[in-house]
């Protein structure tokens, strides 16, 4: 939910900057703000005593997944979004951004075979319907199809990114987001320079970097942590509450009036979230033998022995082996439950 709030706020905040910054340049600044900001956070945390056991680092085998995620979600998607925003109202762009949740769920279900039963699917549909209803404006017209296709393409890019990043979710979320931000920011900057696009004033550049740090850096870090425990379909559904959360903040902070549209969207989303919360997915399932590395406690799935150099205390991180296991308990499609149904 916090990830949705931060990202949802970044879209209307970034749109006014398009009057002074080209889409490629602004995309570069948003991602550089994310990457540089998180690099500073990691530098500030380097002396903490529990860093050794905090999170698993990225490994060489993660790089192909990370590279593909950066290309889809860090290079292609933000530029398509900003190109779309340049040609349409931000309210209509916000409506189309709900497609990200639809695409994320569809790819998770059809491509990665993540379990989506009737209850979860109904809940996700209700959340997405509420988001679309809340975003709709009277007399809305998308005008030219070009900008709308750009925003829809951005949603598809982020949906691909979400599902690819799920493959990396056991690793350090802060490190993943930092690398994605720096890589995407540098690539976008090179493209902007190759086109001879000018850089904005220092004030505008800093503003874009700050928006990127919170709306892309912190938001994506929280999103990856959710992917680790909930899977892509459920995380994408919860992320689709962004317009409702933003409207709620408007009611609470700015005293905006309650509308029938808001109340209807609230009921749809509340029903959708409730459908997810009452999910009780339990069946006999098999855990195959696997060796991997991630942050864990010694719970139902982690009854392993330790080497002498394993970190003390819990939770901790080290390479460990899971013996084959067949059992039954309620579970989500997290990093230990990506089995076929």
**Is 272's pLDDT higher than 70?**
yes
Query: Do 30 and 194 contact (CB within 8 A), yes or no?
Result: no
In this prediction, residue 218 carries a pLDDT of: 95
Kindly state whether residues 266 and 301 are assigned to the same domain: no
**Model confidence at 140, in pLDDT bands (50, 70, 90)?**
low
pLDDT at 60: 85
For the four alpha carbons of 77, 130, 89 and 214, in that order, the dihedral sign comes to negative
202 shares its domain with 263: yes
**Together in a domain, 238 and 111:** yes
> Are 241 and 269 spatial neighbours (Cβ–Cβ below 8 Å)?
yes
49 vs 269, which has greater pLDDT?
A: 269
Contact 235, 274 (CB under 8 A): no
* Structure confidence at residue 285 as a pLDDT band (50, 70, 90): low
337 within some domain: no
Paired tokens of 6: 């931060």
The answer on 324 and 271 residing in a single domain is no
Return d(Cα 241, Cα 196) in angstroms, integer: 39
Contact 134, 262 (CB under 8 A): yes
pLDDT class of 287 with cuts at 50, 70, 90: low
pLDDT single digits (tens) 85-129: 777 776 667 667 778 878 888 888 888 877 777 877 887 788 778
At 173, list the tokens: 């979320």
DSSP state of 18: G
Averaged over 57-82, what is the pLDDT? Answer: 85
Sign of CA dihedral 87, 88, 89, 93: negative
pLDDT digits (tens, 9 = 90+) for 169-200: 788 889 899 998 999 899 889 888 888 888 89
Domain that holds residue 32: 2-283
Q: What value does the mean pLDDT of the chain take?
A: 79
Using one digit for the tens of pLDDT, what is the confidence trace for 42-61?
888 876 645 545 777 778 88
Report how far residue 108's alpha carbon sits from residue 162's, in angstroms, rounded to the nearest whole number: 9
Cα torsion 266, 271, 276, 281 to 10°: value is 180
Model pTM score:
0.71
Residue 138 confidence (pLDDT): 59
State pLDDT tens for residues 20-43: 888 889 989 999 999 999 999 988
Rounded (10°) angle between helices 173-194 and 23-45: 150
181 shares a domain with 262:
yes
59 and 181 assigned to the same domain: yes
Q: Do 60 and 206 fall within a single domain? A: yes
Is 237 a member of any domain?
yes
Q: What is the pLDDT of residues 233-242, one digit of tens each?
A: 788 777 877 7
Of all residues in the chain, the percent with pLDDT exceeding 90 is 15
> What is the pLDDT at residue 37?
96
Buried b / exposed e over 147-158, threshold 16 CB at 10 Å, is: bbebbbbbbbbb
Which among 205-209, 271-275, 325-329 has the top mean pLDDT?
205-209
**Does residue 341 belong to any structural domain of this protein?**
no
Q: Which residue has the higher pLDDT, 137 or 266?
A: 266
Residue 130: the pLDDT is: 79
How many domains does the chain fold into?
Answer: 2
What's the pLDDT at 289? 72
Q: Is the same domain home to 224 and 187?
A: yes
């Amino acid at each position: 939910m916090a990830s949705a709030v931060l990202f949802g706020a970044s879209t209307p905040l970034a749109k006014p900057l398009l009057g002074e910054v080209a889409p490629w340049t602004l995309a570069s600044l948003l991602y550089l703000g994310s990457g540089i900001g998180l690099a500073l956070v990691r530098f500030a945390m380097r002396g903490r005593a529990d860093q050794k056991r905090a999170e698993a680092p990225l490994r060489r085998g993660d790089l192909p997944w990370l590279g593909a995620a950066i290309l889809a979600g860090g290079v292609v998607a933000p530029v398509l979004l900003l190109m779309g925003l340049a040609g349409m109202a931000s309210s209509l762009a916000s409506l189309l951004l709900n497609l990200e949740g639809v695409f994320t769920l569809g790819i998770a279900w059809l491509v990665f075979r993540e379990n989506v039963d009737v209850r979860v699917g109904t809940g996700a549909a209700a959340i997405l319907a509420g988001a679309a209803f809340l975003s709709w404006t009277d007399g809305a017209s998308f005008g030219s199809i070009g900008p709308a296709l750009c925003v829809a393409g951005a949603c598809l890019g982020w949906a691909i990114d979400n599902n690819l990043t799920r493959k990396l979710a056991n690793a350090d979320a802060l490190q993943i987001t930092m690398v994605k931000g720096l890589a995407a920011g540098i690539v976008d900057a090179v493209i902007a320079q190759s086109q001879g696009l000018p850089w904005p004033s220092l004030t505008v550049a800093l503003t874009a970097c700050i928006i990127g740090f919170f709306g892309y850096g912190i938001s994506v870090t929280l999103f990856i942590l959710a992917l680790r425990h909930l899977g892509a379909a459920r995380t994408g559904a919860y992320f689709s509450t962004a317009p409702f959360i933003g409207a709620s903040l408007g009611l609470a902070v700015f005293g905006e009036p309650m509308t029938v549209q808001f109340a209807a969207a609230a009921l749809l989303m509340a029903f959708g979230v409730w459908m997810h919360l009452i999910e009780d997915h339990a069946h006999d399932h098999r855990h195959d033998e696997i060796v991997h590395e991630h942050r864990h406690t010694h719970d139902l799935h982690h009854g392993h022995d330790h080497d002498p150099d394993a970190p003390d205390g819990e939770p901790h991180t080290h390479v460990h082996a899971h013996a084959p296991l067949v059992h039954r308990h309620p579970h989500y499609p997290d990093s230990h439950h990506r089995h076929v149904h």
